[in-house]
Amino acid sequence: MSLTLVICAVTATVMLVALAVQAILTLAQVRNTAKAVEYLALNADGKLTALDPVVNAIRTVSSGVSSGWLKIAQMVYGLFRK
């Protein structure tokens, strides 16, 4: 009976140590990922402003599509195609 309790205690201790080691490794990876995301966020701000003309062009096209200009252009194209 005493041997069984010792084996269970040793097994539980080994598993607890393994869990602690895995938690430490996981937290280290989370820290590295957070640093990488922070670096990306700080450096992406200047680069994203270069995309403003593209975003404005897409916004113009989407507003044209929603306002019906595309339908009128397709109708005119269809008239000339025939």
pTM of the full predicted structure?
0.51
For residue 37, the enclosing domain spans 2-81
| Model pLDDT for residues 63-77, shown as the tens digit of each residue | 766 666 667 777 777
Contact 64, 70 (CB under 8 A): yes
For 2, the 3-state DSSP assignment is helix
Kindly report each contact of residues 4-12 with a partner whose C-beta sits within 8 Å and lies 24 or more positions away, as own/partner: none
How many domains would you assign to the chain? Answer: 1
pLDDT tens track for 9-48: 999 999 999 999 999 999 999 999 999 999 988 888 777 7
